Amino acid sequence: MVQIKTAADIEAMRPACRHAADTLVMIEPYIQPGITTDEINELVHDFTIKAGAIPAPLNYHGFPKSVCTSVNHVVCHGIPGNKMLNDGDIINVDVTSIINGWHGDNSKTFFVGTPKIRAKKVVDVARQALEIGIEMVRPGATLGDIGHAIQKYVEGEKCSVVREYCGHGIGRGFHEDPQVLHYGRKGEGLVLKPGMVFTIEPMVNMGRAAVKLLADNWTVVTRDKSLSAQFEHTMVVTETGVEILTVPSS
């Protein structure tokens, strides 16, 4: 069941959403060749705890770390470890913060050092795909409108949209209804109403859309080992359109 958040609920969510956005701002200068994904995890964890927030991924269904770090052909849910980043890599850092029981969720794909041509392409397409999806959000639109707009753009750029993983409702729960697919048909699916809060987070592959889950039961990779990029915001449907909630403090 899709929850309609009240004005008070939205205000209560803002601190968590703002902190998640601030975390991505904090981590960006550290995304350099030589850092390990576990060091990124430690920085995110410490920043979160010091703010009086809780890192939502930690121990979520057994996830062992405080942030997801997905490098190159890793699509999502990469587990931080001793992997060192190299010049030319790309890495998605996916942050979810909890403050006073409310969640804020966002992610960004960063360049490590100097991006290669294919890396720049897939990151640019993923970033634009999110923006195109957000532009579709308004009362009376459908989830199919969002998915269709993203799919049409991404495939027009000769990239592909991951099917198995999607955006989601969010609030007191990390993952609530509805599921927000990044592909679809115009006019189909749930009709959007003011007060709905969800994420849009298209995962865009440079190659084919097919993915596989590794033996750790978390890490998702492209089957053809092509690069994958993702951007994510938490947003609320307003009376006139949409408001992005995961905006940094400054």
Query: What's the burial of 151, exposed, middle or buried (CB within 10 Å: 0-12/13-18/19+)?
Result: buried
Per-residue pLDDT reduced to its tens digit, 59-103: 999 999 999 999 999 999 999 999 999 999 999 999 999 999 999
pLDDT in tens, 108-128: 999 999 999 999 999 999 999
Residues of the chain short of pLDDT 70, as ranges, are none
Q: What is the pLDDT of residue 250?
A: 81
Topology of domain 7-244 in CATH is Creatine Amidinohydrolase (3.90.230)
Cβ count within 10 A of residue 93? 27
Q: What secondary structure letter does DSSP report for 185?
A: -
Q: Can you give the residue ranges of every domain in the chain?
A: 7-244
> Given this model, what pLDDT does residue 112 score?
98
φ and ψ of 235, to 5 deg: -145, 165
Instruction: Judge contact between 49 and 42, C-beta under 8 A.
Output: no
